[in-house]
Structure 1
């Protein structure tokens, strides 16, 4: 059972597809800070070169693995930050739709950013997360 409680407000717009805050009970045993998940395969190659949605899918697969290895799931996530190497809002939306779909009804708070560049060759998407278990 997760110790994460998503916080919504009737005083803020419902346009955002995520909760505006999250809270964790003091009984949580651990906080997990996941490094930015990247669109790399097991050999370290960037996948889906030029494909924002394809990279976002790989990023979420990798984030899921990292969280599971740390003893958490996507449902334990308190907050994410989604980075997209693009100045085009459409590219940000494409990445967000993949990330959002992967979380299902666990719509943890998130920040979505367009950035100039990311760390690996041909990398377009990265997602970091904080979870509590």
Structure 2
């Protein structure tokens, strides 16, 4: 089955795992399904963390990340 990776990253370039070295992606589209990584308060570019000590702000950032990834995959939160 073919698939499309969205926002491909290398862990050594990330905010939290600089000692690791492997490829990953924030989302994968396979057929009519979208697979997403764990959503946290990290920014999608892995350069920062939103809402340290504030779970509500972290949740808002996580949902914004998911919204963006789903739109890039051709869908949305309503799907």
Residue ranges of structure 2 left out of the alignment (5+ in a row): 1-30
Residue 38 of structure 1 is aligned with which of 29, 37, 40? 40
- TM-score in terms of structure 1 length: 0.33
TM-score between both structures, scaled by the size of structure 2: 0.54
- Structure with larger RCO (C-alpha < 8 A, sep 6+): 1
- Give the equivalent residue in structure 1 for 2:66: 63
CA RMSD of aligned residues (A): 1.5
Q: Which runs of 4+ in 1 moved over 4 A?
A: none
Map residues 1-133 of structure 1 onto 2, 5 A cutoff: 30-41=32-43, 42=45, 44-76=47-79
1:27-83 per-position Cα deviation (integer Å, ceiling 9, x unaligned): xx611111112212345211110000010000000010011111110111xxxxxxx
Equivalent pairs counted in the alignment come to 48
Q: Which blocks of at least 5 consecutive residues in structure 1 are unaligned?
A: 1-28, 77-133
Matches of 2:37 and 2:74, distance apart in 1? 15
Aligned-partner SS, 1:58: helix
Q: Choose 1 or 2 for highest CA Rg.
A: 1
Q: Distance in 2 between matches of 1:38 and 1:50?
A: 13
